[in-house]
Amino acid sequence: MTSGLWGYENTEGYAAGTDLTGFRVEATDGHIGKVDKHTEDVDTAHIVVDTGPWIFGREVLLPAGTITRVDVDEKTVWVARTQDEVKNSPAFDKDQHTGNREYHDRIDGYYGGTGTAF
């Protein structure tokens, strides 16, 4: 079972199997982008957010545990992080960091998690 920072178990309104791709993403203080990819993989569940013009040309990886609420009707995801926290997160490169344990450990440390199970 997934838990902590890398699982959806504390996310209000989220149902397993829900495709979050294309959903709007809101930080505690405003819009940060749209979900480009999401995964429910055990102990590595996360979303990848395309920040669009907000941080031009950048994608960020947010562990599932940062998501507080999902509204399927409004196609919106809310995360318990500020825009600055997201903006200053470790850079994400899908070609280098997808499935990379070292990168996930950096993200885990940045967002205050307890480690990944890989």
User: 104, 116 in Cβ contact below 8 A?
Assistant: yes
Q: Look at residue 42 and tell me if it is in a domain.
A: yes
Whichever domain contains 83, its CATH number is: 2.30.30.240
Could you give the percent of the chain with pLDDT greater than 70?
A: 92
User: 63, 46 in Cβ contact below 8 A?
Assistant: yes
* pTM above threshold 0.95: no
Q: Look at residue 102 and tell me if it is in a domain.
A: yes
- C-alpha span between 47 and 45 (Å, rounded): 7
User: Which DSSP state fits 12?
Assistant: B
User: 78, 12 in Cβ contact below 8 A?
Assistant: no
Q: Kindly calculate the radius of gyration of the chain based on its CA atoms and give it in whole angstroms.
A: 13
| Per-residue model confidence (pLDDT) at position 116 | 44
Determine the structural domain holding residue 54 and report its residue range.
4-111
Q: Look at residue 118 and tell me if it is in a domain.
A: no
Structural domains in the chain (count) = 1
Q: Look at residue 116 and tell me if it is in a domain.
A: no
Is the confidence at residue 115, as pLDDT, over 80? Answer: no
